[in-house]
Amino acid sequence: MDLGIKGKSAIVCAASKGLGKACATALAEAGANLTICARGEEDLKNTAQEIQNASGVEITHVACDITTEAGRQAILDACPRPDILVNNAGGPPPANFEDLSMDDWRKAVEANMITPLALIKATVEGMMERKFGRIVNITSAAVKAPMNLLDLSNGARAGLTGGVAILARRASAHNVTINGMLPGTFETDRLVQNFVKQAEAQSISVEQAKERRRASVPANRFGSPSEFGAICAFLCSAHTGYITGQNIVIDGGVFPGIV
Ligand code: NAP
């Protein structure tokens, strides 16, 4: 299927690895020109080169911390009028509520709520004027079903989800959509860090923690980043102007609700 976004410009945040990289790769395969960021320059440069070699699209890479104002300005300077915005950043560290300081909460809210809101604020009006825009917020399945030890993620990402819900409806009149992608368990570096914490909390080995999690997934496996990327590219395509304000759980069937 032609996704109808050849030549569109896309910002993909936090994209040197994992889910962000997979989204960038799939958007490039569909012909979108990319501006990508991450903090570590070496990995980012290699990822940009790898995607460019495979797809032939234009890729600008900006080494920055997207959770800072300077980082957000740097990526917007590189791509001031994106047609597509994929919001992503590292997840907050896993911990129980009792072990969290208010400073931990401020950092999580800045990274996983304020940062995507600021990028949306800087770009959504231009998208509405140009009558095309696709905004995807990578959040977490924790938005629908809060998870143990992920209190910071549960809170900050739910805030973002509610914060854009009305805008998502209003913007759709201008062919601009805003949707959330809610990953369950995908095989990335982040997942490994979570297993280490879960193993400590349950006094089991990391391998046992991984196996317990896998066994709890109806699909009987973890997700692969490339399948996540393909869904992202479809949500950013020309065919999805009628999908907005949705929060799509991609978790191999873990979420037990029917809606
Ligand atoms: P990952 O494999 O660890 O990759 C994270 C990427 O983000 C890297 O490219 C990293 O590069 C970049 N990054 C991190 N912090 C950044 C910052 N402040 N500014 C710019 N770039 C930054 O993680 P992932 O699994 O893809 O997860 C992506 C997001 O989805 C996270 O928020 C995670 O919590 C959430 N999530 C993931 C899963 C899952 O199963 N994997 C499930 C639920 C939610 P640098 O370190 O070089 O900056």
Q: Give the pLDDT confidence of 110-140 residue by residue, as tens digits.
A: 999 999 999 999 999 999 999 999 999 999 9
What mean pLDDT comes out for the span 174-185? 98
Q: Does 66 contact ligand 1 (Cβ within 6 A)?
A: yes
Identify the weakest region by mean pLDDT among 63-72, 177-186, 191-200. 191-200
Q: What distances in angstroms separate CA 240 from CA 84, 132, 231, 243, one per listed residue?
A: 12, 11, 11, 5
- Determine how many CB atoms are found less than 10 A away from the CB of residue 145: 16
Q: Which atom of ligand 1 is nearest to the CA of 153?
A: 34
Q: Does 254 contact ligand 1 (Cβ within 6 A)?
A: no
Q: Does 187 contact ligand 1 (Cβ within 6 A)?
A: no
112 CB-contact burial (10 Å; exposed 0-12 / middle 13-18 / buried 19+) = buried
Nearest CA owner, ligand 1 atom 33:
91
pTM: 0.97
Identify the weakest region by mean pLDDT among 163-167, 175-179, 205-209. 205-209
Straight-line distance from the first to the last Cα atom of the chain, in angstroms, rounded to the nearest whole number? 27
Distance CA 224, CA 188 (A): 8
Cβ atoms of residues 149 and 95 within 8 Å: yes
Nearest CA owner, ligand 1 atom 43:
140
Q: Which atom of ligand 1 is nearest to the CA of 40?
A: 47
The answer to whether residue 201 scores a pLDDT higher than 90 is no
Give the model confidence (pLDDT) of 37-61 as tens digits. Answer: 999 999 999 999 999 999 999 999 9
Q: Does 228 contact ligand 1 (Cβ within 6 A)?
A: no
Closest CA to 176 of 231, 234, 245, 87: 245
Q: Does 84 contact ligand 1 (Cβ within 6 A)?
A: no
Distance CA 62, CA 49 (A): 13
Alpha helices in 203-238 (DSSP H): 206-215, 225-235
Structure tokens at 28: 């490039």
Structure tokens at 52: 């460019």
197 CB-contact burial (10 Å; exposed 0-12 / middle 13-18 / buried 19+) = middle
Q: Does 107 contact ligand 1 (Cβ within 6 A)?
A: no
At which residue do the structure tokens 């979420």 appear? 255
Give the model confidence (pLDDT) of 204-231 as tens digits. Answer: 999 999 999 999 999 999 999 999 999 9
Nearest CA owner, ligand 1 atom 2:
18
Distance CA 75, CA 40 (A): 15
Q: How far is ligand 1, taken at its centre, from the CA of residue 131, in Å?
A: 30
Element (H, E) at 81: none
